[in-house]
Each structure stands twice: as structure tokens, then as C-alpha cells.
């Protein structure tokens, strides 16, 4: 029922602006650091940050509505696999 309360109360544009100035900014900074140190494959940071942010935000909303306790472990495992795929091999 309350899955999208933040978006509804703030509006989509405001919610995105808040997200980008908080967790989005931190995510982009960490990704940039990981690219610089050679941990993940060199690539443009902005698209990657938006893709990961969107995926994790959607997963959080889905998990909040989930009634299956296994969904949390499954989501964590999928996220780890997705992030490991970014690593330099």
C-alpha cells in the first residue's frame, strides 16, 4: 500500500532530485573510486550509477511489499552476482 509514498508526497521530479543529491551522489562517487582503482571495468559513471540506483530502488520497493521471506536472500544473492559481474577479471 505505501510502496511509492515518497514519490507521491514529493512528486517524481523532487523525489529524483533528493535521491540524486544523497544516495545517488554517494553511489557515483564510490563507483568512480572503484573504476579509478581498477576494481571494476572502466566505463562512464553516470549511466552505471543510474542503472544501479534504479535496480536497487525497485528491489527495495518490491521487497517492502513481499510476503515471502526468501525474497530477501534471493535479492541479496542477485545483487551480489550483478555487482561481481562489474569486477575486472
Q: Cα(11)–Cα(47) distance, rounded to whole angstroms?
A: 23
The reported pTM is 0.75
Q: Which of 62, 49, 41, 40 is nearest to 16 (CA)?
A: 49
Helix, strand, or coil (residue 25): helix
Q: Cα(57)–Cα(45) distance, rounded to whole angstroms?
A: 18
Query: How would you write the pLDDT of the chain (89 residues) with one tens digit per residue?
Result: 444 555 555 666 776 666 666 678 899 999 999 999 999 999 999 999 999 998 998 999 899 999 999 999 999 999 999 999 999 98
Amino acid at each position: 500500500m505505501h510502496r511509492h509514498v515518497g514519490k507521491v508526497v514529493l512528486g517524481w521530479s523532487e523525489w529524483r532530485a533528493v535521491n540524486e543529491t544523497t544516495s545517488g551522489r554517494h553511489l557515483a562517487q564510490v563507483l568512480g573510486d572503484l573504476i579509478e582503482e581498477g576494481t571494476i571495468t572502466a566505463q562512464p559513471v553516470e549511466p552505471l550509477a543510474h542503472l544501479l540506483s534504479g535496480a536497487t530502488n525497485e528491489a527495495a520497493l518490491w521487497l517492502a511489499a513481499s510476503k515471502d521471506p526468501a525474497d530477501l536472500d534471493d535479492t541479496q544473492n542477485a545483487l551480489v552476482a550483478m555487482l561481481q559481474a562489474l569486477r575486472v577479471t
